[in-house]
Amino acid sequence: HPYFLNPLMYFPLILLGIDHVLEKNKPVLFICSCTLAAYASVYFFYMSSIFVFVYALVRYIFLYGRSEGTIHFVKKFSIGFLSFAFAFLLALPVVIPFARVVLSGNRVGRTVPALWEPLYYIKFPIAFVNASADHYASMGYTVIGLIAVIILFFKTKCTYKLELKIYTILGIVFLVFPFFGHVFNGLGYATNRWTWAFNLLVSVIVVDFAPFFFSLDKKKLAFISLLVLLFALPTFAVRSHGKSSYIAMAVVLMFVCAVFVFLFFYQKQTVLVFSIVAVSIFLSAFCHFSPYFFNYVSQTMLAGSSFETMQNSQYSIFEESKIDVDRQYRLDIADSEACSMGNNAAQNYGLYYNRPNTALYYSTNDGTVRQLLRDFQLPVNSDLYYTGLNGRAFVDAYLGCRYCAVKKDKREYLPFGFEKKLASNENFDLYENETVLPLVFSYSDYMPRGGYQALSSVQKQQAVLQTAFITGTPRLNIKEKTSALIFDDKPLAFAISDISKDIAFDGKLFDVKKGGACVTISVKPDCAGELYLIFDNLYFSNNLRKNWNSARITVKCKGLYRFFDIREKSDQMYSNIHDFIFNLGFIDRAEDDMNIEISFSEKGIYSFDDFSVTCQPVTKIPEYISALTADNISYHYMDGKMYISGDIVSDKILCISAPFQDGSYALIDGKKQKCFCVNNFATGIEVSQGFHEIEVCF
């Protein structure tokens, strides 16, 4: 990935800068390089900061040892620390937003395994030469790199190049234990995306020992050539896959090898050394960077240009139809397939079209968004991306999803309420539902957050359309709600009518012996509404410790297919999500027995605390929306601020359907007031009766 060239440009400058500090007491280069690195990428600057601390400590020991006293160490440390602190202050405009999201979001508090899966350690020695050992341990130093490291440790005295040896040992330790991958990845899932630093170290070792290769006799060079060939054969076998073009590449490479060997017998050893290097580089490219393995340009060429793909996404319908739609409402995406990871909906194309939407992919997410997903038990399997709102009418109404795009042949997947067709293009139809909340609305009363936490997820989605639930203890003049909340969801009795011979069921788990096995339940809905399949505390386990380890549960109901994925604990994207509510669609009347078929893609144990079916009537939504939009409020968002004006009929809590952030405040008619968190997610402001001009600063 070319993005990882970024730290390779700045990190050497940072190391050179710390050398200037340690040897000359000159911090200018260190300050400048750290500041530039932070502005280039806070993510890589974070990694570099850890590495530079380790480097500085080891470097000081080798420069001065015990020859200098404690005062000298404190002086050097102080200069380095103050220089770094000054660079950090210069970079605060980019560091603070990054740190706030990381510390409040999904990355902190993850469970990290003590060791990687066994297969990782089997692949590791091979990966050192010509492949990846999973978890982004992308090394591939070729035989030249392997021999250079072997020479460093086994062909030199213990104290020779000891500094390089210490760095190498530390690097290998960091690669061996997942904890370090977790730390270097910004406290996210454990992965070795920091190997660019280890690659730089091995490159230094290779360059340092390059003269050694030119001093070898013909027998040793022939042995190295044999090693290159031995590593080449399995690479060709694995990568060629029987494709003629790849086999042709392998044949050409072998011919080049033969030519170099022939020249070797008539020329100096220098020819063979360069031939070994050339063949090793070619082999590495064939193995790890060829058009069928992580070549992003090639993938774009095969799939069509990225811009054309984006133009064919759900969002393009707005531009093509040129209809006048309100950008202050969100767009939802219909049907499970359209919201799956890897589809256009998850590629952030909505940002290009400036359309608020519900299917996004971010590597750092706000903690309130994470909480929203869990409160409503939306069927997502990771905190890193959102895949729509499951077509649930209450959630769509609460989050202001006025528009919904659906594939032309998937009209039946439209959520309830989207009846008005606005536009069409070659691939999608766009529908509108006017019975939703705007992004800014008002509550007349509130309840403490504790009452919200005690509700079930089905009850929570109903409750947020009736009153505000306040986090913390802000002093409010608004009255606390005294009347009871209305909940009209109805649990439905069901029975297992058919079960595959490859599934054992004991009431609390499905033991699936073969992937694709299914179970059918029979239920009789006795009301009109949305039909929910609910799993509480659902776990998937197959005792396979793999880099990617998840299972797909597909549900068929009334001829429609929907699915959700659940990750095993060993999966690197595991986010501790185990509660799921899955909307099976709207039933417009009481029906006779209905069959729901549930299939499991992977062999394993699917255990749960509760498994139920519920009917959620939606007839009260218009009444709730009318009450929350009684005030005449207008708003627009610009440059990170929300500008609101309106005539408030009585003292209210103004709710902005955007993630609450600590430190947010509002200027109400010029007077500053702190914002507070509403419903574990949204941003709230207390406003008094009358007309107000409000500026909300996030």
* Residue 540 confidence (pLDDT) above 90: yes
pLDDT mean over 425-443: 91
332-346, 391-405, 507-521, 606-620: least confident range: 332-346
Record the pTM.
Answer: 0.81
* Residue 198 confidence (pLDDT) above 70: yes
The CATH H-level superfamily of 490-615 is Galactose-binding domain-like (2.60.120.260)
Mean pLDDT computed over every residue of the chain: 84
Whether the Cβ atoms of residue 468 and residue 490 lie closer than 8 Å to each other: no
| Distance from chain centroid for Cα 280 | 34
pLDDT mean over 478-507: 92
Parallel, antiparallel, or unpaired for β 420-424 and 665-668? unpaired
Better pLDDT: 445 or 310: 445
In the prediction, which pLDDT does 327 show? 75
* Residue 657 confidence (pLDDT) above 60: yes
* Residue 173 confidence (pLDDT) above 70: yes
Distance in angstroms (rounded) separating the CA atoms of residues 562 and 410: 12
At residue 346 the predicted structure's pLDDT band, cuts being 50, 70 and 90, is low
Both structure tokens of 363: 């590597």
pLDDT mean over 293-300: 50
Distance in angstroms (rounded) separating the CA atoms of residues 457 and 581: 8
What ranges make up the beta strands (E) of 619-680? 632-638, 641-648, 652-656, 665-668, 671-674, 676-678
Backbone angles phi, psi at 438, to 5 degrees: -70, 175
Give the residue from 34, 132, 143 showing the smallest Cα distance to 89: 34
Distance in angstroms (rounded) separating the CA atoms of residues 49 and 34: 8
Looking up tokens 């574990």 gives 680
Distance in angstroms (rounded) separating the CA atoms of residues 389 and 577: 16
Distance in angstroms (rounded) separating the CA atoms of residues 633 and 601: 49
At residue 2 the predicted structure's pLDDT band, cuts being 50, 70 and 90, is low
Distance in angstroms (rounded) separating the CA atoms of residues 344 and 341: 8
* Residue 386 confidence (pLDDT) above 90: no
Parallel, antiparallel, or unpaired for β 446-448 and 468-470? parallel
Distance in angstroms (rounded) separating the CA atoms of residues 388 and 266: 68
In the prediction, which pLDDT does 90 show? 95
Angle in degrees, 0-180, between the axes of helices 244-264 and 218-240, rounded to the nearest 10 = 170
Backbone angles phi, psi at 662, to 5 degrees: -55, 135
Cβ count near 507 (within 10 Å): 6
Both structure tokens of 641: 């601020």
* Residue 43 confidence (pLDDT) above 50: yes
Better pLDDT: 345 or 408: 408
Give the residue from 529, 111, 580 showing the smallest Cα distance to 387: 580
| Per-residue 3-state assignment (H helix, E strand, C coil) for 277-323 | HHHHHHHHHHHHCCCCCCCHHHHHHHHCCHHHHHHCCCCHHHHHHCC
* Residue 336 confidence (pLDDT) above 60: no
For 251-268, write each residue's pLDDT tens digit.
666 676 666 666 655 556
Per cent of the chain over pLDDT 70 is 83
For 658-694, write each residue's pLDDT tens digit.
989 888 899 999 999 999 999 999 999 999 999 999 9
Both structure tokens of 421: 């067709």
224-238, 297-311, 356-370, 639-653: least confident range: 297-311
Between the alpha carbon of residue 493 and those of residues 150, 395, 490, 556, the distances in Å are 67, 25, 10, 18
Helices assigned H by DSSP within 541-660: 621-628
163-172, 352-361, 627-636: least confident range: 352-361
Better pLDDT: 119 or 302: 119
Both structure tokens of 109: 């508090």
Which residues, other chains included, contact 386 with Cβ-Cβ below 8 Å and sequence gap of 6+?
Answer: 358, 359, 360, 361, 369, 373, 378, 380
At residue 292 the predicted structure's pLDDT band, cuts being 50, 70 and 90, is very low
Whether the Cβ atoms of residue 606 and residue 379 lie closer than 8 Å to each other: no
Which residues, other chains included, contact 599 with Cβ-Cβ below 8 Å and sequence gap of 6+?
Answer: 516, 517, 518, 519, 553, 554, 555, 556
* Residue 227 confidence (pLDDT) above 80: no
Distance in angstroms (rounded) separating the CA atoms of residues 21 and 15: 10
* Backbone dihedral region for residue 110 (phi beyond 0: left; psi -120 to 50: alpha; all else: beta): beta
Which residues, other chains included, contact 379 with Cβ-Cβ below 8 Å and sequence gap of 6+?
Answer: 390, 564, 580, 581, 582
Distance in angstroms (rounded) separating the CA atoms of residues 556 and 603: 19
∠ CA 456-458-462, rounded to 5°: 110
Whether the Cβ atoms of residue 391 and residue 334 lie closer than 8 Å to each other: yes
Domain 440-487+622-697 in CATH 2.60.420? The answer is yes
One-letter amino acid at 473 equals T
